[in-house]
Structure 1
Amino acid sequence: MAKFPVAAGVVLALVAGSAFAADLPSRKGPPPVFVPPAPSFTWNGLYGGINIGYGFGAGSNETGGFIYPSPSAAPGFSAAWNAPQNLNGVTGGGQIGYNFQFSPWLVVGAEADIQAADINSQSNVVGATTSPSTAFAATAARGPILHSAFVNSAKSVDWWGTVRGRIGVTLPSWPNLLVYGTGGFAYGQVDQTVSVADIFLTGPVGGAVIGRAKSFGTKTGWTAGGGVEWSPLAFPAWSLKVEYLYTDLGSTNVVIPGVLTTFVVPGWAGSHSSPTQFHTVRAGLNWHFNPFAAPAPVLAKY
């Protein structure tokens, strides 16, 4: 008889639980939508944009000289010059590149750019270092021949571009700020004009020799620098950058022929060497073609 009350209690509990469960509200309709968390920031992908900046000289000098021999065994006339450049001007164009983020802090990529430029230099040398000849004086039995050389050099960089690698780092607390170094190949259109006038002041030959040379063409070299790029988290498809580059397009070497003389000059030979080296500081705006974006909502399955 003792077992009957226990069994009866269990049965009553089960009946009460079933009745309580029947009274609970039931959920009808589609399953709830699962909203994934926002993806983390990444620099991965293709981008393109525009830039504008200013180029200025790197403190290089232009050098040159000429010589024409004496009719005797003694040394002839000569002149030499060394003139500082003052390259400077505005530059602006566009760039395209690709980034690959290897880890939360390491970004590696490549970038190519091309831009128009109004970078110019004008150098003038008044009274270049000259060497008078004693040969003509000895031959003509007259005083030494004195002369003074004047040089004008004009250069312009009309357009230029680069193809560079980039390697950068980010900080865990600033994933949208990239600090990078860059370097690679550089090229550009460099135009050079040099004019020389050698004026004879005394001596048996009196008069002048005028020489002129031009060089137009594409020069190649290298570039290196670094920058900072930042993308606002509210607009991840855009980024702003500030960048510095040092560019060396090599030297332009020209031979200067005598184009106008007031007397016969045997063996005139002149040359001029002008390096094209400049710094650039520029700002840029990039659009990222495949920025990170939240995936489509996923329906939870039950």
Structure 2
Amino acid sequence: MLVTASLVALSAAAPAVAADLAARPYTKAPPPMVAAIYDWSGFYIGINGGGGSAHTTWDFVGTGSEGSHNATGGTVGGQIGYRWQTGQWVFGVEGQGNWADFSGDNVSAVFPGDRNRTKIDAFGLITGQVGYAWNNVLAYVKGGAAVVSDKYDVFSTATGASLGSTSQTRWGGTVGAGLEVGFAPNWSVGVEYNHIFLADKDVTFTGLVGTDRIRQDVDMGLVRLNYKFGGPLIAKY
């Protein structure tokens, strides 16, 4: 009889003890892993600087070559463009304008008393781009049209006096390649090589008899800093 009474008492106490126990806490499942990847799409603007060399050959029409020289120096300018990314492929268009100071000269092989000097003081590039991105690293090639502002001078080797000069705006083509790295939100830095090829051009000088046919190609290396408008990252689950 005593045992039965004890069991009844324990049965009555069990619900009360269970009610006193704290509710089992709810644990939220952790969110899925998210990888942030760089998005190269959008408008961008930037600055650039570097150096270049224009290999120039002067031929006196009807007589022969006056010789060649490299017009070398520095350049600084800016660029603006738009890129759009699909998968890892990146496509873009860009306009670039630079001031330059590429200059050089040589003694004429036809007229030993003369020196021929070439100077490039500005150039512009209008190009399309095709690139491939590894997250925040972009490698690309480019090509399009180029315009160059040239000045040509003939001066005396003995006195340095000017014998004639003229200026021209020359159109040609350009090809190049670059590597760019996104290093901070919206900012990227890169290096780029460009080659400009210009068609032969006949040049006459006021006060001088005859015509020079001038051939010119330009090679340059640039360091570029770009700011891209819009968000630089997208989330990938």
- TM-score, normalised to structure 2, is 0.77
Question: Secondary structure of 2:176's partner?
Answer: strand
The equivalent residue for 2:74 is: 90
Letter in 2 for 1:121: G
Letter in 2 for 1:291: G
The equivalent residue for 1:24 is: 23
The separation in 2 between residues aligned to 1:194 and 1:162, in whole angstroms, is 28
The separation in 1 between residues aligned to 2:190 and 2:164, in whole angstroms, is 41
CA RMSD of aligned residues (A): 3.3
The equivalent residue for 2:219 is: 279
The equivalent residue for 1:217 is: 168
The equivalent residue for 1:121 is: 104
The separation in 2 between residues aligned to 1:116 and 1:281, in whole angstroms, is 14
Question: Secondary structure of 1:43's partner?
Answer: coil
Following superposition of structure 1 onto structure 2, how do residues 3-152 of structure 1 map, counting pairs within 5 Å? 16=15, 20=19, 23-24=22-23, 37=34, 39-58=36-55, 60-65=56-61, 79-103=63-87, 105-126=88-109, 128=110, 150-152=113-115
The separation in 2 between residues aligned to 1:116 and 1:44, in whole angstroms, is 28
Q: 1:294 to 1:280 in 2, by over 3 A?
A: closer
Q: Is 2:125–2:146's contact at 8 Å kept on the other side of the alignment?
A: yes
Among 237, 249, 253, the alignment partner of 2:202 is 253
Shift of 1:153: 1.4
Aligned residues: 216
Shift of 1:125: 1.7
Q: What's the CA shift string for 1:148-181, capped at 9, x where partnerless?
A: 764321211111110111111123xxx1111110
The separation in 1 between residues aligned to 2:213 and 2:156, in whole angstroms, is 13
Question: Secondary structure of 1:40's partner?
Answer: strand
Q: Is 2:79–2:96's contact at 8 Å kept on the other side of the alignment?
A: yes
Shift of 1:16: 4.7
The separation in 1 between residues aligned to 2:136 and 2:206, in whole angstroms, is 58
Q: Is 1:39–1:292's contact at 8 Å kept on the other side of the alignment?
A: no
The equivalent residue for 2:178 is: 227
Q: Whose radius of gyration is greater, 1 or 2?
A: 1
Among 118, 124, 149, the alignment partner of 1:155 is 118
More strand by share: 2
- TM-score, normalised to structure 1, is 0.62
The separation in 2 between residues aligned to 1:177 and 1:38, in whole angstroms, is 16
Q: 1:282 to 1:98 in 2, by over 3 A?
A: same
Mark the runs of 5 or more structure 1 residues left unpaired by the alignment.
1-11, 28-33, 67-78, 129-147, 198-210, 260-268, 296-302
Question: Secondary structure of 2:210's partner?
Answer: strand
Does residue 1:169 correspond to 2:132, yes or no?
A: yes
The separation in 1 between residues aligned to 2:20 and 2:172, in whole angstroms, is 82
Q: 1:294 to 1:196 in 2, by over 3 A?
A: closer
Shift of 1:224: 0.4
Shift of 1:292: 2.5
The separation in 1 between residues aligned to 2:22 and 2:178, in whole angstroms, is 68
The separation in 2 between residues aligned to 1:21 and 1:115, in whole angstroms, is 80
